[in-house]
Structure 1
Amino acid sequence: MASLNPLAPSFSPSKLTTSVHSQHHSPGAGIPGPSAHGSCTQNNLSAPAHRITPLTQSFIRLSFLNVCSLRNKVAEVADILQQHNFDIFGVAETWLDSTTSDSDIDIPGYCVIRHDRPVRRGGGVCFYFRSGLQVKPRPELSDDNIESSWIEVKGRRRRQLVGCFYRPPDEPILYWQNFEEQLHRAFVDNPSITVIGNFNVNVSTPYPPCPIARKFLELCNCYGLTNHVHAPTRISPACPSGTTIHLILSASQDISECHVLPLTISDHFEIEANLHLQVSRSVSPQEVERVRAQRNTRSVKLCEFRRDVSSAGLDDFTNTRDVDTMWASWHTKFLAVVDKHAPIRYVSSNRKSHPPWSDRELHKLNQRKSQLHRRWLRDKGNQNLHVQFKQARSSARNAYRRKRNDFFRAQCAASSQNPRKLWNVINSVTNRKRNNRTCLESAVANYIFGQAIPSLRAIIRHLESKYPEEQEKAHMVDELS
């Protein structure tokens, strides 16, 4: 009996902090199972339903980034989504076309909706949204005159339209007329609108001297949309002080905690915010493990606690002689007092996961980059600090890619004798599913990792003899060689 912790929320010895929905506990042991969303009972201990269910959240984590070619940066985008746990992620300048399938840019745990530029190269927008969210694509709200994409997020009490836009710098003045028509079409359908995107219009000052920027903000105000991004979102040699061209437009009460985050995968900065919309979504086991139960001991008044313990009758064992019954009676009475003064609350640990190739060197490079960026933001006229920040950003980007490549090379070398593991590594690098792999890619991969075909000429002969449909691609390889 002396070894048991009386402050634990169950009879078994445990710490003050216990994990909810843990696989090591069963519902009968005092921890609710995955299907117990309504209440939590732990030896006569109950808690409100909203404290224990991680399936309901009062806001959506929203983000936007101009990536400048998504195809070769899918791994970096996947790392951002994993580290920051975004629910909706808008991307501009995807540079995708009909030759790129959705499986080429697939990220596990997320669905993708894209709108490619129909004619010339570049441009394009897309959405990544968590697969557990109830999202409906709204292609009827978009048109070919503007690079945009719309989705509708279903909340518990309302629906929210979210649009992602990209406006090229050389777009004519006719763009704003088309933008107003599209905005009006969305507003008639649903007044709850949030717009994110890169409009290439600098709105960094309260009253922009640019007439286009002033007209743009007045147009947004007509529909009740307010810009929530006020820090520079891109630094360029032409404007070392920074320009605010990436915007989050929504009603003032719908957005909170808007931040600008400098990243290393693009010369554009990432913007993020919380969109206030109560939604229900499925939660992965990793997220459930991060929800913890702990007692709130900050507001305990020791004098009142001692008085209640003394008057609780903890030493009254007149009705029984059984040791287990006596312990259960004492434990129940004592927990009733503890629950009154230090109730249980359920919180998230907010632990950010890092990629497996992250180490101390990469952490120091990112710290150095962040320090120089903060110093340069305080003194934007200092060109020396600007140059040092760009060098540190390049060093961090190159180190990240080098360590990532070394990690996958080591994984391939370790799996060289196991084809199944090897293909899992290849698919994780290329973000392609097994059934979308072409014969040419299989042959080239086999050649690279030394599994079957010894030379590039052998690849060509192998394709011509076994896969007639790939002869054209094989001749292309022959010309390149």
Structure 2
Amino acid sequence: MDEVNRMLQEQGFDILCISESWLTDPTQDRILVFPGYRIMRGDRPAGPAGGRRAAVRGGGVAIIYRDTLTATILPIPTAGSCESLWLCIGGGGHRSVTVGAVYRAPSVPVASAIGDLHDQLRAALGYGRPTFCLGDTNINLLRPDGPGVRQYGAALHELGLFQLVRVPTHLEPSESLIDHVITNVPDLDADVLPPADAVADHLTVTVRVPFRRGSRRPAPFTARSWRKVNWDAVCLDFLRADWSAVYSAADLDNKVGR
């Protein structure tokens, strides 16, 4: 947590997506303290008591975002092959965006995970907002003939999506590009932070999105037309009015209320 907080303060991220949070139900949000930020969690389901998945640790995703923003969980369906959390994030006059954090465990078959991710992305795009999906897919794009790479590329192409990361994000035991940024916003670039004091054995991928502030609709109001008013009559009504209740009110709010 100290390393994550240091990263948030030094980098000034508005939104941070985390793969493999390793959080579980007993871990309460109140102990996950990130000053100036809030957290939403998508913990890995523990499975039925005594079941095969009950003892499986790890996994899980989370999204940390500035407390000046608002976030709403989106009901994106999943088949369970690709762990995920999807939010609509906006506020502060900025345009709302759809953000997803995803993780595919290496033990999950590539084909089923790609199909699950494809369906999630299609559902997310249905909200009609700029969409960003970040996370560890464990699909190494440095190996064009590797497991699932072609199927993965075809799935993104079908949905009109772009994968922004072009350099290795995981260095040991060999270099691989398994941490991706998927978006429907063209002409963006992703960077990889240097590995000094890395939080994990994955490098941190960053993307800057220069969204303009959304235009606010003017609030409707009702006004009385004063063009034909008889001002002498108005002044006479004021003179005849009983102002004693206003004079006796203790403070300005009560005077206005009278």
Residue 123 of structure 1 is matched in structure 2 by: 59
Q: Which amino acid aligns with 1:97?
A: T
**2:197 is equivalent to residue 259 of structure 1:** no
Structure with bigger RCO (C-alpha 8 Å, 6+ apart): 1
* Secondary structure of the structure 1 residue equivalent to 2:148: helix
**2:14 is equivalent to residue 87 of structure 1:** yes
Residue 177 of structure 1 is matched in structure 2 by: 115
* Secondary structure of the structure 1 residue equivalent to 2:24: coil
Runs of 5+ consecutive residues of structure 2 not aligned to the other structure: 47-55, 215-258
* Secondary structure of the structure 1 residue equivalent to 2:7: helix
**2:101 is equivalent to residue 164 of structure 1:** yes
Q: Report the Cα offset of residue 76 of structure 1.
A: 0.8
Partners of 1:191 and 1:135 in 2: how far apart? 14
Runs of 4+ in 1 over 4 A off after TM superposition: 155-158
Partners of 2:128 and 2:168 in 1: how far apart? 31
2:5 paired residue among 56, 66, 78: 78
Runs of 5+ consecutive residues of structure 1 not aligned to the other structure: 1-73, 281-481
Q: Report the Cα offset of residue 95 of structure 1.
A: 0.8
Q: Which amino acid aligns with 1:161?
A: T
Does the C-alpha gap of structure 1 residues 96 and 144 become closer, same or farther in structure 2, counting only changes over 3 Å?
A: farther
Does the C-alpha gap of structure 1 residues 89 and 263 become closer, same or farther in structure 2, counting only changes over 3 Å?
A: farther
Q: Which amino acid aligns with 1:186?
A: A
Does the C-alpha gap of structure 1 residues 276 and 225 become closer, same or farther in structure 2, counting only changes over 3 Å?
A: farther
1:263 and 1:270 in contact (8 A); partners too: no
Q: Report the Cα offset of residue 159 of structure 1.
A: 2.9
Residue 135 of structure 2 is matched in structure 1 by: 197
1:118 and 1:144 in contact (8 A); partners too: no
2:79 and 2:116 in contact (8 A); partners too: no
Q: Report the Cα offset of residue 215 of structure 1.
A: 0.9
Partners of 1:267 and 1:117 in 2: how far apart? 20
Q: Which amino acid aligns with 2:96?
A: R
Once the two structures are superposed, residues 340-382 of structure 1 have per-residue CA deviations (whole angstroms, 9 ceiling, x without a partner) of xxxxxxxxxxxxxxxxxxxxxxxxxxxxxxxxxxxxxxxxxxx
Partners of 1:141 and 1:272 in 2: how far apart? 24
2:207 paired residue among 273, 293, 298: 273
Partners of 2:79 and 2:28 in 1: how far apart? 20
Partners of 1:162 and 1:142 in 2: how far apart? 15
**Counterparts of 1:414-453 in structure 2 under 5 Å?**
none
Q: Report the structure, 1 or 2, having the larger helix content.
A: 1
Tell me how many residue pairs correspond in the alignment: 201
Partners of 2:166 and 2:67 in 1: how far apart? 31
Does the C-alpha gap of structure 1 residues 142 and 277 become closer, same or farther in structure 2, counting only changes over 3 Å?
A: farther
Partners of 2:188 and 2:194 in 1: how far apart? 17
Q: Which amino acid aligns with 2:118?
A: E
Max radius of gyration: which structure?
Answer: 1
**Counterparts of 1:369-448 in structure 2 under 5 Å?**
none
Partners of 2:206 and 2:128 in 1: how far apart? 23
**2:69 is equivalent to residue 136 of structure 1:** no
Q: Report the Cα offset of residue 176 of structure 1.
A: 1.9
1:105 paired residue among 22, 32, 37: 32
TM-score after normalising by structure 1: 0.40
Does the C-alpha gap of structure 1 residues 124 and 142 become closer, same or farther in structure 2, counting only changes over 3 Å?
A: farther
Does the C-alpha gap of structure 1 residues 211 and 76 become closer, same or farther in structure 2, counting only changes over 3 Å?
A: closer
Does the C-alpha gap of structure 1 residues 191 and 178 become closer, same or farther in structure 2, counting only changes over 3 Å?
A: same
Q: Which amino acid aligns with 2:130?
A: S
Identity fraction in percent: 28
Q: Which amino acid aligns with 2:117?
A: F
* Secondary structure of the structure 1 residue equivalent to 2:189: strand
Q: Report the Cα offset of residue 252 of structure 1.
A: 4.9
Q: Which amino acid aligns with 1:180?
A: H
Does the C-alpha gap of structure 1 residues 258 and 251 become closer, same or farther in structure 2, counting only changes over 3 Å?
A: farther
* Secondary structure of the structure 2 residue equivalent to 1:185: helix
* Secondary structure of the structure 2 residue equivalent to 1:277: coil
**Counterparts of 1:163-242 in structure 2 under 5 Å?**
163-172=100-109, 173-190=111-128, 192-204=130-142, 208-237=144-173, 239=174, 242=175
